[in-house]
Structure 1
């Protein structure tokens, strides 16, 4: 087989692996990161091809640092990929996470909103993290996983957890489906400049929703009693209890999770188009690494 076919196969397998990682991570930021990473790899190959040793060496180190940075940023997803590969669950890697969360017609949503309304009126600080997909949040992603609760969501339970004399009030609660999974959870706080002007609860909410793509976070300010909703690192505030319910209901009803499916489809179409252009160019240009028999 001609050497240039091996080169093309190498490129195709690399792109496939990149696409697989993006499919598993399913994060919009990851799409942009991998695009930048691929550009670095391409620039490195071109520098090596045209005999630019210093630039090639610099890009080589930059690629290594970038790979470590991406792996650190998405350590939970990387861990999940490696675990599934280790168990031989290759099909599961290509199975998208099903949308899940609170049924907007279910009274659980009313219980959450009613408790938030009461907490707001009494100016009791609260932080409620709600999962939105069938893939559960790995509590190893938290600074402290908190105290297991595993109880049905109720207005009384949420109000009692955040009562300032309750030892569990300091931190967040995690809601999965219709159950409170844990309380007194602590999140890693972001160092982003735009986040530093926020209070601790709002900072924690923006940080965790910026890090994790499958959740939303409801915040009640202890100082003002204002209600906020964080999603993908963005805050929507101040909200009334009715506005909060409408946002949550619309979110879970419409599945408005800004999935990266469109981004991935667009990414794959571009790769396909650019791949065809590359093959066409290789067929007409006599590049150094192509040796015809």
Structure 2
């Protein structure tokens, strides 16, 4: 066995290693793309079906194995239809050159647009003393909290956000969670901070903002309903009394694009 393994390793060339690395990276990006969608559950079902087919063949359960094989054939034919949204998104990202970088990573223009829309939103909400809680996802995924709200998946605009937080509307209670430049969900429930040193004048919104920033690397923007004060929470700390310019100053360095070595490989050009 050891000699066979050595023989296999000796036949692997440097190009084979590059080949396997590229395939592994593409599969990883595909997984990242579908991990937050219903496709994950469908893939699990497909894996169970495949396992059952192999077991029935091993146990020589001919009738069950025949039925499972026919079912697998039907499923494989139906896969392009079932995964149509994911396939379309993959092709769109490939066409835009985003397949080999984080889909939630924004370029400079998109970040500037996002910050502008957010500052316009908080300025209007603060002026009218309308409470708001907006969570900006970074590296730590917030799917558990997204599931507690109402899925939205809409582009971030000041008009959209203001409409969400208008009092007595269905989604005004709870938090909005933003991934990249899209609103993933509204009306989300967040964990409250247990920090007993916090001043008692901070309400539920502020404690929720600090709470989620303690558990994830998210950045949270809060507008007080009582005073209209704009605050930002990150790393379990709350920065208060911000205006539009100061809010931008806080946000800008937190969303600097991180380029991985693999993405460098795909974006490299000879000089």
TM-score tier, shorter chain, comes to 0.5 to 0.7
Cα offsets for 1:33-87 (capped at 9, x unmatched): xxxxxxxxxxxxxxxxxxxxxxxxxxxxxxxxxxxxxxxxxxxxxxxxxxxxxx9
> Of residues 168, 186, 190 in structure 2, which corresponds to 1:165?
168
Matched, 1:136 2:141: yes
- Retained in 1: the 8 A contact 2:137–2:219? yes
Q: How far is the alpha carbon of 1:104 from its aligned partner?
A: 5.0
Residue of structure 2 equivalent to 1:116: 122
Cα offsets for 1:120-151 (capped at 9, x unmatched): 11110000000112x53232x57x71111011
What SS class does the counterpart of residue 184 from structure 1 fall into?
Answer: strand
Any residues of structure 2 matched to 1:252-291 within 5 Å, and which?
Answer: 252-253=255-256
Q: How far is the alpha carbon of 1:249 from its aligned partner?
A: 1.3
Distance 1:131 1:113 in 2: 17
Task: Give the superposed CA RMSD.
Answer: 2.4
Any residues of structure 2 matched to 1:1-293 within 5 Å, and which?
Answer: 101-106=105-110, 107-133=113-139, 135-139=140-144, 145-195=148-198, 197=200, 198-213=202-217, 215-253=218-256
- Retained in 2: the 8 A contact 1:172–1:183? yes
Q: How far is the alpha carbon of 1:254 from its aligned partner?
A: 7.5
Q: How far is the alpha carbon of 1:109 from its aligned partner?
A: 1.8
- Larger relative CO (CA 8 A, sep 6+): 1 or 2? 1
Structure 1 232/189 Cα, relative in aligned 2: closer, same or farther at 3 Å? same
What SS class does the counterpart of residue 193 from structure 1 fall into?
Answer: coil
What SS class does the counterpart of residue 149 from structure 1 fall into?
Answer: strand
Q: How far is the alpha carbon of 1:191 from its aligned partner?
A: 2.3
Cα offsets for 1:219-273 (capped at 9, x unmatched): 0001111100000110111101111012111221377xxxxxxxxxxxxxxxxxx
Give TM-score, length-normalised by structure 2. Answer: 0.53
- Retained in 1: the 8 A contact 2:104–2:179? no
What SS class does the counterpart of residue 174 from structure 1 fall into?
Answer: strand
Structure 1 185/231 Cα, relative in aligned 2: closer, same or farther at 3 Å? same
Residue of structure 2 equivalent to 1:93: none
- Retained in 1: the 8 A contact 2:133–2:222? yes
Q: Any stretches of 5+ residues in structure 2 without a counterpart? A: 1-46, 48-100, 259-271
